[in-house]
Every structure is written in structure tokens, then in C-alpha cells.
Amino acid sequence: MERWKRHAICHPLWGAMELTLAWHTVLLLFAQVLLPPMAPAWFPGLGATVVNAVCCAGTWFVLRRWGWLRMSGVAALGRARRWWLAAPMLLIAGSYAVVGLDGTTTVVVSGLVSLLWVGVNEEVYSRGLVQQVLIPLGPVRAATAVAVLFGAGHLQNHLFFGAPLDDTLWQMLSAGLFGFTCAGLRFAIGSVWPMVVVHGLDDFLQIRSPGAAPDWWQVCVYVFHAAYGLWLLRRYGIGDASAARSAARAGAGERPEEAGALD
């Protein structure tokens, strides 16, 4: 684990790619091979909940072994005064519920629980672990890499879960821009937990909405995510990234003068 940590710190982009691939491999193994189908009538989303909880536990283990639980924003509430910065994302999520929710009470409650676990799992791994590895690249490049890796990861829905390719490509774009904004929020707030709430509710309200949002609205959301994410990074990202970069170099065993020479 320590050798892998040093490798990830010294080669952040490669480290982020390797961690993303490892996370998706574990997810697919548990979803399709190791766990039997679990969709009881009283909790149709049980299988998805268990898979995401198991993957989240694995990411938590890595963060703990590397001493990054608080640094990554996973075991920290961050700057409470800045939690309001997630409010625009919460409003966008709420817009998908304007026409109501579809499904029985059991389906709705089960979906809410399982998709909140999706939010926990994906934020802990992407905006927690992966973003922490990428911080030495600087805030904008780190957030861009987080967005690309997070969006590309959704290709698995076409490759392994039978989703149509055109739908998957749009989902990759949407997820990438969403991940870019969440990366900016992580820099600004210092915690992944506001994004966990937004992520889970956004997925839940979109899936349980009886109809797809109009194309013009989706385009507006895409533009907002790109613009808001960039503003967050310009406004809040520099100081947090510099401090985390220094901590990462210390973890890699660099002497102070070596770390300064790289700035």
C-alpha cells in the first residue's frame, strides 16, 4: 500500500487512472459475479445498495491506510460556512421533481436509499480519493482530470449493463460536467458530504421523474456546470490545492527545498 501511495503521489495522473480502473473492476465484480441478484419486493434496490456500500468500504480502507481520510474531505465536514455553495446544484436536482415522482412508495423509498449510497460511493472515490491524488496538478487540471475520469467511467453502462450507446455518451458528458462542478465544490468546501447529498438526490429525482427534462434545460445545466465549476476553482481552488500539494510532497518523502523547487 505504501509503494502504491508513493507511486500515486509521484505520478498523479497515472495513479488516478489506476485507482479509477481498480474501483470500477471491484464494482463490476460484485455487481455481476460475486453477489447473487438481490431485489426483494420489500427493497428492490437492495443489490445496488450492497454493491455501493462494499465499494465505498474499499475506498475508505485505502484512504485510511494512506492517512488521507480528513485531507480528502471524506472524514471532515470542511468549511461549514461554504456549504451554501452547493445550493445551486441542489436547486437543479430539485427541478427534475417539478412534474412529480413516479413509482409506488416502496419503489420510491428503496430508490432513494440505494441512490444515496451511489452518491456516497462515487463521491468518496472520485471527489475524495481520485481528486486527492490529482491535486498536485493544480486545481483546474485536477478538476478537469476528475471530470474526464468520472465521465468516462460511465461507459461501463453500455459495455456491461446493456445501455444504448447514444444514451451512454450523453450520460458521460453529463456526468463529466457534473463531476467538474463537484470537484470545484470539494476545493471550496473541503468536504465531499455536501456533494453526496446533491449527487444522490440528483440521480434519484432524475430516475424517478415521469419524463425526461427538455433538451434546452439540459443544455442550460451543462453550461452552468462548466461555468460554475470554473468560477469555484478560480475563486477557491488555489489555496486548498497549494496546501494539499505541499502535504502530498511531504508524504512522498521530498525535502522542503525539493518541494519548493517544483513550484
Task: Compute CA 30 distance to the chain's CA centroid, rounded to the nearest angstrom.
Answer: 19
Q: CA dist 6 to 9, 10, 141, 227, 251, Å? A: 5, 6, 20, 34, 8
**Long-range CB contacts (< 8 A, 24+ apart) of 245-254?**
245/135, 245/136, 245/138, 247/71, 248/9, 248/135, 248/136, 249/9, 249/136, 251/5, 251/6, 251/9, 251/66, 251/67, 252/6, 252/9, 252/10, 253/6
**pLDDT for res 196:** 97
Residues of the chain predicted below pLDDT 70? 238-263
Q: How far apart are CA 154 and CA 157, in angstroms?
A: 6
Q: Tell me which amino acid residue 248 is.
A: A
**pLDDT for res 240:** 53
**pLDDT for res 243:** 53
